[in-house]
């Protein structure tokens, strides 16, 4: 079953064509990796999928529904969750409060603005359980700006997962992490259930090929190759582009 289809998606900024005519389909439960050199248009594409950036042309179809004109928050309610290339947490709120906000959105409890949040026991338990699950309880009370960078990336991910999304957009989740932290995050992603579809941008080839079911390769805004890991590894055009960058 198809989770996501994009048709002829394009985006230009003035004279600069950031994304040109990209089309692909992602199946439910698939782990699709998007790779490509810097400036290839990957994050721009992501932003269009998440609704953070309007498209210049083309369509985005999610679970059969055309969401091209839908604003970002509406897409989130449809089941899209994303992480950010530059960690985007709520810096002066505690880690727990960060999660609480994510959970509140999912619970739709915000309509009842009468009950104090701290009195909402089921919500607070939920937050605690989530932190326990990912072994992050130790930092629950700290402000998000005060925790280590690696932990911030993890919380970024947990925030996206809190709402139990159907499709996850991960933008370079391992960026800037130490080797040990990369292993941790990859483990987190690996352990996600197969009813979640994952679309992930990655610069680290090892990580990309380890996690991927299929890979889409972007270069200068164009989709130049798509296939399973082996096919992409041996693709002449891909090797050509990555010559010198390939870290195998």
Partner 1 sequence: MMIFALFAMSLDLLIGYTGMPSLGHTAYFGISAYTTALLALRLNLNAWLALPAGLVLAALTASLFGLLALRTRGSYFLMITLALSQVVWGIAFGWRSLTGGDDGLPDVPRPALGLHLPWSLADSTPFYYFTLLLVAVATFLLVGIVTSPFGYALRGIRESETRMLALGYNVWRYKLTAFVLAALFAGLAGSLYAYYNRFVSPDYLNVARSAEVLLMVILGGAGTLIGPAVGAVLIVFLENVISAYTERWLLALGVIYVVVSLFAPSGLIGLLRHIRSRRATP
Q: How far is the CB of 53 from partner 1 (least distance, A)?
A: 11
Q: How far is CA 98 from the centre of its chain?
A: 17
Query: SS3 letters for 176-206?
Result: CCCHHHHHHHHHHHHCCCCCCEEEEECCCHH
Q: How far is the CB of 40 from partner 1 (least distance, A)?
A: 22
Q: Which of 6, 48, 60, 76 binds partner 1 (CB under 8 A)?
A: 76
Output DSSP code: residue 133.
H
Q: How far is the CB of 157 from partner 1 (least distance, A)?
A: 13
Q: Which of 115, 125, 129, 133 binds partner 1 (CB under 8 A)?
A: 115
| Residue whose CB is less far from partner 1, 110 or 243 | 110
Residue 114 in contact with partner 1, rule: CB under 8 A: yes
Main-chain phi, psi angles of 133, to 5 degrees: -55, -40
Q: How far is the CB of 145 from partner 1 (least distance, A)?
A: 9
Residue 121 in contact with partner 1, rule: CB under 8 A: no
Q: Give me the torsion for CA of 200, 175, 95, 160, rounded to 10°.
A: -10
Which residues, including other chains, have CB under 8 Å from residue 226's CB and lie 6 or more apart? 24, 214, 215, 216, 217, 232
131 and 103 in contact (C-beta within 8 Å)? no
107 and 116 in contact (C-beta within 8 Å)? no
Residue 70 in contact with partner 1, rule: CB under 8 A: no
80-109: contacts with partner 1 (CB under 8 A): 81-82, 84, 88-93, 97, 100-102, 104-106, 109
| Residue whose CB is less far from partner 1, 74 or 183 | 74
Residue 118 in contact with partner 1, rule: CB under 8 A: yes
Residue 124 in contact with partner 1, rule: CB under 8 A: no
Residue 229, both tokens:
């890991």
Binding footprint of partner 1 on the chain (CB under 8 A): 50-52, 71-74, 76-77, 81-82, 84, 88-93, 97, 100-102, 104-106, 109-110, 112-118, 120, 159-160, 163
């Amino acid at each position: 079953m198809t989770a996501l289809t994009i048709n002829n998606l394009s985006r230009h900024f003035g004279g600069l064509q950031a994304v040109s005519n990209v089309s692909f389909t992602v199946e439910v439960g698939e782990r699709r990796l998007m790779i490509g050199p810097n400036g290839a248009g990957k994050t721009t594409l992501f932003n269009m999928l998440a609704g953070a950036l309007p498209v210049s042309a083309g369509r985005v179809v999610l679970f059969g529904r055309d969401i091209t004109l839908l604003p970002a928050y509406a897409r989130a309610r449809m089941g899209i969750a994303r992480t950010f290339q530059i960690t985007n947490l709520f810096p002066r709120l505690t880690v727990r409060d960060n999660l609480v906000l994510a959970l509140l959105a999912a619970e739709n409890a915000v309509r009842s603005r009468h009950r104090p949040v701290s009195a909402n026991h089921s919500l607070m338990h939920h937050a605690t359980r989530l932190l326990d699950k990912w072994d992050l309880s130790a930092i629950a009370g700290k402000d998000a700006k005060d925790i280590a960078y690696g932990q911030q990336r993890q919380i970024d991910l947990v925030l996206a997962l809190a709402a139990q999304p159907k499709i996850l957009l991960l933008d370079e989740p391992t960026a800037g992490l130490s080797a040990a932290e990369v292993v941790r995050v990859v483990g987190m992603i690996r352990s996600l259930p197969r009813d979640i579809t994952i679309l992930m941008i990655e610069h680290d080839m090892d990580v990309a090929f380890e996690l991927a079911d299929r890979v889409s390769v972007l270069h200068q805004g164009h989709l130049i190759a798509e296939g399973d890991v082996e096919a992409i590894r041996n693709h002449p055009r891909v090797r050509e582009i990555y010559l010198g960058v390939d870290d195998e």
